[in-house]
Structure 1
């Protein structure tokens, strides 16, 4: 008993010391900022709320520019998308050595999926289903960005999207709330680490708050409208997960919610974010988000700027509505001094937490910039992570992996397109460094096989479309010859080969911001190329580049093997070669459903039943919820992905069929690698509430484990289920678990599962 008391005393003392330390830090910060704000004029406070773009800052001329003048006058709180230690140090010098109060600036950048070492686009990363790797990628990105002067990233984007027409689906984590929430937390942890004051961590900015991924018609910036029940259950959780993980900032979205642009939504920015979730950081608009409310029909610049501040927005990106109108609005009592002070304090607190007041130049270390960016170790990690993201969609008769022998024809507009390998939102990537598929195959085979290459077709027959799809230096070097000549060259090469690898699909900028598509198939000219290659009678492997789910009905029927490689970053070519040749067994699983055609959209696994559901196994039945011309089924379901081996699942063994109160039950399955090669499998757990106070989804992801198995090896995988896993927001927006009957599913995707039944008793 004495020993227990002694241990308890030590634990209490330790916790007390930790709490005291945290309290002391908070008091120190408050004291410091209180003193600083007492010295600040209204103009200087408004200046902290202003986030202009960096423009064309040239090292050595920062102080003499118009921007330099504003910084000197205390009218700039931070800058974004300026890179390099030299430039940032020069601009920071103006702020801390030439302005009246010497307040340092924050420097942000769209570090979305890596810095100079680029990882798979976020949609591809979400197919890894391994949070250690997701966190590792964010950690490397933070290390590189911070070494080059950046202290703030506009990431992670955690918008749930069920509409692949929306270009920015490429920048998010797919359609599922649970998976998206898990990834959101891992990315925040990777960026921010355990201590934001360290010089190799950066502040995360969760975006886009909120519901941006549900834009009508899949058209970027468009209207969003949904019930609060759907909002709370399906779309808000990933943002909350990022906030709970400690994200330092949040970005408002462009879309409207409940008829009010998110940038002016007090419900979102104050009621939900601060009052319900307890968020303590600051909120920044998206690019010109305040000004764009004028086109929404919300008033002139002064009006919309006051709406944004009243809603809970703290920082104005680019538009300068806060800087130029809030002083007048204050005099007219349309905003209050307290609101301005709160916003200013939150910006200053962020700078304090980043350690910028202690050392404004802490991110301006030339030695770090020279030694910690694009390192061999970082590139090795990027290659390994890329390999985990590839999803094998089809592999008829075990065509893959191919042998490193004979003659391989590599054909397609994405085959020798290194500028496109990094994908959309790769703003810091040196476009000369990514490894193309052609280079990757050559690196892999050495002198053991002959690689023949032909472009085969342009990206699209329409040259103007190709221009729109290859912006930001991501050219595909359009071939000016006729389509017939380009195709004949490819067929001549194909006929010499033992196997054809067709690198086709989207270009990097066919997805991403302002890259919505009404038709989401492979461009017809590339389909024609595939058809011609198939007619040669040679085996064809489709290496698919895409930033979204595509409609691949024809390709799936005709092409024997399809490997989806997304846009996998600077090491793409070597990673693709490793998987094609079997050095690595693909293990990616889809985080989004692939529809058969555009008419099925939105299509997602965790839908609800109608009152007239189509009976299982039926293709069509009159007066049921179905189509005349296509089945309700997806082409590839959520969680789907093949392997070069085969995994079998035992039946589910439940520890009990009754889950009582706060107790738990376990569900166990045995997974066996029944093939001849080692591989990894993502074991997925889903549940279904059979009767509820509101209608409930037919399945909901509640857990997953990624395991590695040698050929012939078996492993038991166990999931623990509690009533917390069964909670949802009811019609009163209360977070509850309801007693009753449930189904539990475990499998390798959302469709092919084993089932068990249990009952929740509260």
Structure 2
């Protein structure tokens, strides 16, 4: 259809048909749905009529080519104007083939891996009938207590923005209408959901507009600049106003300032939740606020379908607002080619061929191998082939490694660590649980102790159950469960070399594990091929290359702790530990246990010869920073060279350092390479107190190194 035909279709629609296009419901509410989908519940709770349901514009949570074909055909038979349904789903880190959680993918620092993971997720979803994914989630997060930290790529706005673009490219490709193996992407959650107070899901967000623009908005904007078709409103308040009814945020910034003309959808029931927030008296007021804010589709509450017609009849809402919203929905359906082919890419035969195919599993393996981060290693890893090894812990033979939001992935398809290590390890290997995730029996401990006594090296497979993170998975205690810490204490008494592998969805407080272990490998929730990837790292056929994109705290009491913080008027001098009236804790270091960008390898790298091409730069004349990196170890490895900058004096206080560029390089033993970064004036800009975006002349410091802490330094002046 062309735009004239779309406009003509809109003119033919009745008001009730228009409003129905703005309603999204789960599949079980629809007549003709052969499958109830991933989400079900009593129809009575919705308060919508059969007519409303049968005319609604989109479906949430249904997948499977046969099921979607059946529902689409049934719907089209009843549709007066032949307007097809949109099918949407939470395809977060894979569809059937599950990739590492997004936080883990971020730790790969490999944008190609992220893009490929989204491309494969799109292909599996599209052939199964899905049109839109509610991804990427690009919320910047500094608080690991929040369960949904597993969906983000970390604490840095620059890196998050790069990954946002990569995910959008992977999901959407370059031509949605013709490429039936792609999905429309929906960036979320707009805005600043990752800053919920106390790390508690759905909680209040309150910050200055300057803070919002400087740190939290860039990744959403980057996704939209990459062509992302949809935006999802967040659950939280922004400046005291729920996002779903926030005109300044949605109309002012998203629509008017950023010129976004795609579809804006509420999160699950978030329009009606304005009542609980105290921002609307009833469903009618919630509908009024949301449509004025520019929310096009209401997910899973009936405020629009029940009240927009009367709001228009009373004159409180102009029908033009409804027409704008419906037009955006119709345009998205047209971009996806649904008017010409309502079934789009849904194909049961091809679905059977593609889902969990060898090529997709291979890509999931590569992503998992690149996402693991070696946090500590005192010579225990990789395992020596002749060693006797005891693999002990609840994840030694556990399939719960997919993580939250694993769509239609099944734990039974996951490669478990124990069997994978058995296949690869040539020495003697015993496998025992030792404890459950949060419980221990005397028999389990006795079996683990007996196995440990017979071993030369202990490998502990520990972590969180997948439902201990994810949506609704906020925690105040982010240590490992006590049963696992007790297992560590008991095995430590044997005096054997001990390596720990942790499976989890957030940065943890590693007290009780980090100091007690000789090596620690952060595996995150690594997905379908996770056990194979971790086993190959343990045995040394893969050299770990992941780097943290969130700082790990010394304890939860430090939270939020992040690398790009401001200095204070009374900064602590580490050499003067006795000073009291400075910004410090009296019972803990200020610094995190492990900083942003940190990660080890089975080889070592040396940085030397940092040079800045000029003492001065201007807007017209960029400068370059050079550093030589040498592989000083005995095996090939990948190093992520990171460039940070500090604006020494600004009109607004600037962070101690900010990531501005990075490069992943592969070096053979003894090989050295000069890495060159170009710095432009544009990279030095920030939001001033009046919200203008500009740079300040003056001194800038340059830091280059393997992480945000251990760096070489240089300087220049902007004139």
Aligned residue pairs total: 709
Structure 2 unaligned blocks of 5 or more: 37-41
Looking at structure 2, the residues matched to 56 and 341 of structure 1 have their Cα atoms a distance apart, in angstroms, of 26
Counterpart selection for 1:750 from 692, 708, 713: 708
8 Å contact 2:552–2:593 — kept in the other structure? yes
SS in 2 for 1:702: strand
Looking at structure 1, the residues matched to 70 and 144 of structure 2 have their Cα atoms a distance apart, in angstroms, of 43
Question: What does the per-residue CA deviation read over 1:59-93, in whole Å, with 9 as the maximum and x for residues that have no partner?
Answer: 87479x98998479752111111010110001111
Counterpart selection for 1:246 from 219, 222, 227: 227
Pair 1:86 & 2:66 matched: yes
8 Å contact 1:147–1:200 — kept in the other structure? yes
Pair 1:594 & 2:552 matched: yes
Superposed, 1:210-249 pairs within 5 Å as 210-249=191-230
8 Å contact 1:619–1:631 — kept in the other structure? no
Looking at structure 1, the residues matched to 308 and 337 of structure 2 have their Cα atoms a distance apart, in angstroms, of 29
8 Å contact 2:31–2:54 — kept in the other structure? no
SS in 2 for 1:333: coil
- Check 1:749–1:620 CA distance in 2 against 1; reply closer, same or farther (3 A cut): farther
How far off is 1:408 after superposition?
1.9
Looking at structure 1, the residues matched to 51 and 383 of structure 2 have their Cα atoms a distance apart, in angstroms, of 59
Superposed CA RMSD in Å reads: 1.7
Superposed, 1:49-448 pairs within 5 Å as 49-55=22-28, 61=34, 70=50, 75-197=55-177, 198-298=179-279, 299-396=281-378, 398-418=379-399, 420-445=400-425, 448=426
Residue 39 of structure 2 aligns with which residue? none
Counterpart selection for 2:603 from 633, 645, 648: 645
Superposed, 1:476-495 pairs within 5 Å as 483-495=441-453
Counterpart selection for 1:527 from 477, 485, 501: 485
Looking at structure 2, the residues matched to 379 and 305 of structure 1 have their Cα atoms a distance apart, in angstroms, of 44
Looking at structure 1, the residues matched to 30 and 325 of structure 2 have their Cα atoms a distance apart, in angstroms, of 27
Looking at structure 2, the residues matched to 585 and 78 of structure 1 have their Cα atoms a distance apart, in angstroms, of 45
How far off is 1:373 after superposition?
1.6
How far off is 1:655 after superposition?
1.5
Residue 681 of structure 1 aligns with which residue? 639
How far off is 1:358 after superposition?
1.1
SS in 1 for 2:339: coil
Residue 470 of structure 2 aligns with which residue? 512
Counterpart selection for 1:580 from 538, 543, 553: 538
Higher mean C-alpha displacement, 369-378 vs 600-609 = 369-378
Residue 7 of structure 2 aligns with which residue? 34
Looking at structure 1, the residues matched to 406 and 492 of structure 2 have their Cα atoms a distance apart, in angstroms, of 34
- Could you state the TM-score of these two structures normalised by the residue count of structure 1? 0.91
SS in 2 for 1:108: strand
8 Å contact 1:29–1:349 — kept in the other structure? no
How far off is 1:424 after superposition?
0.8
How far off is 1:276 after superposition?
1.1
SS in 1 for 2:689: coil
How far off is 1:95 after superposition?
2.1
SS in 2 for 1:553: coil
SS in 2 for 1:294: helix
Residue 9 of structure 1 aligns with which residue? none
8 Å contact 2:35–2:62 — kept in the other structure? no
How far off is 1:486 after superposition?
1.5
8 Å contact 2:25–2:53 — kept in the other structure? no
Pair 1:540 & 2:495 matched: no
How far off is 1:679 after superposition?
0.4
Looking at structure 1, the residues matched to 53 and 640 of structure 2 have their Cα atoms a distance apart, in angstroms, of 55
Higher mean C-alpha displacement, 398-407 vs 574-583 = 398-407
8 Å contact 1:72–1:99 — kept in the other structure? no
Looking at structure 1, the residues matched to 578 and 31 of structure 2 have their Cα atoms a distance apart, in angstroms, of 64
How far off is 1:94 after superposition?
1.8
- Check 1:323–1:572 CA distance in 2 against 1; reply closer, same or farther (3 A cut): same
